[in-house]
Amino acid sequence: MKKNLLILLSLFLISLFAYTNAWAVREGGSFVFCAPYGGDVFSLDMHRTGNTQDYIVGLNIHRSLYKWDASQNKPVPELATEIKTTDGGQTYIVTLRKNIKFHNGRGMTADDIIYSYNRIMNPKTASSATAYVKPIKGAADVQAGKATAISGLSKIDDYTLKIEMENPTELGYLLYKIETAIIPKEEVVSKGERFGSAPVGCGPFKFSKWVKGSEIVLEKFDDYYEEGRPYLDKLVYKIMPEGSARDMSFRAKELDANLLGGAQYQVYQKDPELSGNMVEVAEMYTRLVGFNMNYKPFTDKRVRQAFNYALNSELIIKKLLKNKAFRATSFLPSTSPAFNPKLAPYEYNVEKAKKLMAEAGYADGFDLEIIGTNSQSYGVRVIEAIIPFLKKINIRVKPQQLEGGMLSQRLIKGDYQAFIWSLESGPDPLVALNRFDSKTLPSAGNYVAYSNPEFDKYLDLARKTGNQTQKLVYLTKADAFLHADAPLWFFNYNKAIIAYQPWVHGIKPVAIEMMLQDFTNLWLDETSPRANVK
């Protein structure tokens, strides 16, 4: 009996030890991350930049009303303790946290939210976030210069705010965007244009230093509103657009985490040391070839379908992209709430493709110029790989490589036969599908000039319903139309991978954009070479 007790006691002690160990988060240290996309970091004034690189850094300086919760894969309230709607998304009552401070020490109130949203809509700001604030009642009037303040925003008291919408809307999907960050008016006024290079926010890290074109250093903000957070003392972003250079830095243990390209993914998977420390996610970007619906052969649905049947997408993903992609079914990605898992992707079936081509009167095929950039995963490189497949159904492909600016110009003008690109397809499926509404002009993103009244109808239904479940049903139907009409070759959804060093704890799979990593809860154990860097 005594012996049993002893065993029990030791078991208890062991489990206690294991328990505390698992939760023994460690404070301090410096985390070195990368800003991996081409181009530089331009401005840290989130309202006034459209550059994803800027958001990657800004996300840890700034805070928005909501934030993206990677584990639940949806937006959740951040600056508020509660955000309530009683009428299906027409009116919201926001109860703010009372302990939020900006980096200059001042407490945040409802006025700051009103100020920030008004600043976004002010035409002088020319903000890239207008689309997210516009659904608030009266916001469009401010943008048009007809009003000076958004009528749908009203302060009840310092920590309570009423938001009225134009139509029933899910507020979280709009205001989680870091582009809608809440910023202090006095800093914007006093710094003027310099606010973008010395930003003040209310996030876990405050801005410290910026070596333009090379690196940005952030420091822990001691008065951050989440108790005991962030764990890190310092956060460094290195501007590293070259994949191979990042790989070198990561192997030299100078980078704590790194976004992987296809070539590195393949190598890291085989490496026993590296393969355990990777986080993968299906990002909400759909890689595709868009067909110009005004180009004669593509006016026939069967030709577009034949294109889809003729390509062995799985093989291309496996061999060319080194499995760094998920096969696409339709436009909406598998991480989208309106994704239909029952819908099957176009199979690889050359005979069927040939038959469809013959039925459409193109048994002898046609010449096709496909424009694209030099992107590794959605550029001319992919087109080179599909040439032999399409040759079998007599589509003679001629790729034309272009620089990004020239490509976008031709897409907007509809001046192409087909293009290869990557388009945002989430998180809000309504926003994603709105691109293909027949009322959306090519200059607003409907590059392929897709038009189907049935599709439009379901989109309209989804817009008007206040019921979220019903909305998703409509959108799933709309997506199915897109699938059947095939205005695109549904190639893949990007698989984004971050590899991290063994001492890093807390990298998350962020489906909206993998690099948008919030480091509030990230910590380093003592094996990190920078564990004690202040």
Partner 1 sequence: MKALYRYFRKRINLFLGGVLVLFFISVAVFAPVISPYHPVDDANLMVSEQPPDTEFWFGTDSQGRDILSRVIYGSRISLSIGLVTQLINTFIGVILGVTAGFFGRWWDDLIMGFTNIMLSIPSLVFALAIMAVLGPGLVNVFIALGLTNWAYTCRIARSQVLSVKSIEYVRAAKALGYGQTRIMFEQILPNILGPILVISTLGIAYAILLEASLSFLGLGTQPPNPSWGGMLANAREQFFTAYWISIFPGIAIFLTVLGFNLLGDGLRDVLDPHSVLNNK
Partner 2 sequence: MGAYVIKRLLQFIPTIFFITLIMFILLNILPGSAAYLALDQRKAPDPELIAQLEKEWGLDKPLPVRYLNYIKGLAVGDLGKSFLRKENVSQLLADRIWPTFKLALASIAIAVFIGVPLGFISAIRHGTPLDTLSMVGAVSGISVPQFWLGLLLMFFLSVKIRIFPTSGYGEGSIMNLILPALSLGVGYMALIARTTRAAVLDVLTMDFIRTARSKGLSELQVNSRHVLQNTMILVLTTIGLQFGSLIGSTVVIEKLFSWPGIGSLLVDSIYQRDIPVTQGCILLIILTFLIVNLVVDLLYAVIDPRIKYQ
Contacting positions for partner 1 (CB under 8 A) = 242-244, 247, 261-264, 266-267, 312, 315-316, 319-320, 374, 376, 380-381, 383-385, 387-388, 391, 398-403, 406
Q: Which is nearer to partner 1, 263 or 461 (CB)?
A: 263
Which of partner 1, partner 2, none has residue 426 at its interface (CB below 5 to 8 Å by kind)? Answer: none
Q: Rounded to an integer, what distance in angstroms lies between the CA atom of residue 17 and that of residue 268?
A: 33
Residue 345: DSSP 8-state = P
* Residue 381, contacted partner among partner 1, partner 2, none, CB below 5-8 A by kind: partner 1
Task: Point out which span in 13-21, 62-70, 125-133, 269-277 binds partner 2 (CB under 8 A).
Answer: 125-133
**Under 8 Å between Cβ of 34 and 258:** yes
Residue 244 or 470 with smaller CB distance to partner 2: 244
Q: Return the range that interacts with partner 2 (CB under 8 A); candidates 346-354, 389-397, 423-431, 515-523.
A: 423-431
Contact 475, 340 (CB under 8 A): no
Tell which residue, 306, 317, 329, has the closest CA to residue 392.
Answer: 306
| Residue 50 binds: one of partner 2, partner 1, none (C-beta under 5 to 8 A by kind) | partner 2
CB of 419 to partner 2, least distance (A): 12
Out of 197, 349, 400, 521, name the contact with partner 2 by CB under 8 A.
197
Q: CB of 352: closest distance to partner 2 in angstroms?
A: 31
DSSP assignment, residue 479? Answer: H
Q: Which residue has the tokens 């079914």?
A: 329
CA distance 486 to 305: 6
* 45 sits near partner 2 (criterion: CB under 8 A): yes
Inter-residue contact 345 to 490 (CB < 8 Å): yes
**Residue placing its CB nearer to partner 2 in the complex, 94 or 240:** 240
Output the CA torsion sign for 248, 252, 257, 263: positive
Tokens of 376: 């590794």
Closest contact distance (angstroms) between CB of 408 and partner 2 is 5
Please report, as residue ranges, which positions from 395 to 414 form the binding site for partner 2 (by CB under 8 A).
Answer: 403-406, 408-410, 412
249 contacts partner 2 (rule: CB under 8 A): yes
Beta bridge partners of 86: none
For residue 230, which phi and psi values (nearest 5 degrees)? Answer: -75, 165
Yes or no: say if 294 and 347 are a contact pair by the CB < 8 Å rule: no
Tell me the per-residue interface mask from 50 to 89 with partner 2, x by CB under 8 A, - otherwise. xxx-------------------------------------
Based on CB atoms, which residue is closest to partner 2, 47 or 206? Answer: 47
Q: Is 360 helix (H, G, I), strand (E, B) or coil?
A: coil
- Encoded tokens for 410: 């031709």
